[in-house]
Chains A and B, each alone.
Chain A
Amino acid sequence: MGKRPLSPHLQIYRPQITSVMSTLHRLTGILLALGALQLALWIVAAAQGPEAFATIQAFNDSWLGRALLCGWTAALFYHLANGVRHLLWDVGFGFAPAQVATSGWITLAVAAALTLLTWLVGTGILDAGRIGASL
């Protein structure tokens, strides 16, 4: 490598919604891969038997387990909404600078709304039974 000049790297630039959201997409992707471990444990424990299932449920019910689940849902909905944004780019929609910023804010709003809705239902503040009856 030596002393040859390098092109400016990330720390040179002012954070913008485009770059921050791009970074967040990767970060949430990595986090979700870790969250998949908790999901895998839950399903394997369910198949294993009542004792194993009680253990994992106790963890999911603990403050750490709940905090993780809240974090996974936020990461999940961000990655999902921004993933749809990426898919729309892939087919050629919304590439103009103004559109990219607008779709960014819409993505953040959708992700926040879905996360909040999930937390409200998950904590029992919203009635899950009525929503469940229609599924």
Chain B
Amino acid sequence: MTMRTPLHQARGLGSAKEGVGHWWAQRVTAIALVPLTLWFVASLLCLIGADHATVLAWIGSPVPAVLLILFLTISFYHAQLGLQVVFEDYLHHKGGKLAAILVVKFACLLLGVATVFSVLKIAFQG
């Protein structure tokens, strides 16, 4: 016998007006990543053989810096969303699943912040 309402017990376990949130975020980030990824690969190809100073000048100039920050943040967010689904589908131990999802969330956040900080440092400090 529980005093909690059925709705309260269901909240957080699936769709409670947020069912498509994860799915939608995955699609929005995917759409944004199409042009950003093509731009990034083309840019890297132009940087082959470049020395440190050239790479710094490229990362620090306004357009690449802004696009890089977008590419990095959206990529790590998209990676986290995708890996979460993989863990939800294939890890069957409840605790292990939660742990894996949290580790990936924190790792993606760490990598995102570290790379964005690096771009900003290069842009403002050289």
Contacts and interface: CB of A to CB of B under 8 A. Distances in A.
Interface of A: 26, 29-30, 32-33, 36-37, 39-40, 43-44, 46-48, 50, 53-54, 73, 76, 80, 83-84, 86-87, 90, 118, 121-122, 124, 128, 131-132, 135
B31 A87 contact: yes
* Interface residue tally on B, bucketed by range: 20 to 34
B10 interface: no
Interface stretch (B1-9, B11-19, B93-101, B113-121): B113-121
Given A33-B83, A76-B37, A90 B27 contact: yes
Contact of B114 (A26, A33, A40): A40
B56 interface: yes
B115 A43 contact: yes
B122 A131 contact: no
| Best-surrounded residue of A33, A76, A122, A128 (most CB of chain B within 10 A) | A33
* Secondary structure of the B contact surface, majority rule: helix
Contact of B111 (A36, A87, A122, A131): A36
A33 B45 contact: no
A29 B86 contact: yes
B55 A53 contact: yes
Given A36-B75, A36-B76, A30 B46 contact: no
* Secondary structure of the A contact surface, majority rule: helix
Interface in B73-110: 75-76, 79, 82-83, 86, 104
A81 to B, nearest CB: 10
Given A76-B41, A132-B45, A50 B52 contact: yes
Given A29-B82, A76-B41, A128-B45, A44 B55 contact: no
29 contacts: A26-B82, A26-B86, A29-B83, A30-B82, A32-B79, A36-B76, A43-B59, A43-B68, A43-B72, A43-B115, A43-B118, A44-B118, A46-B59, A50-B52, A53-B55, A73-B41, A83-B33, A83-B34, A86-B30, A87-B27, A87-B31, A90-B27, A124-B48, A128-B45, A128-B48, A131-B45, A132-B45, A132-B46, A135-B42
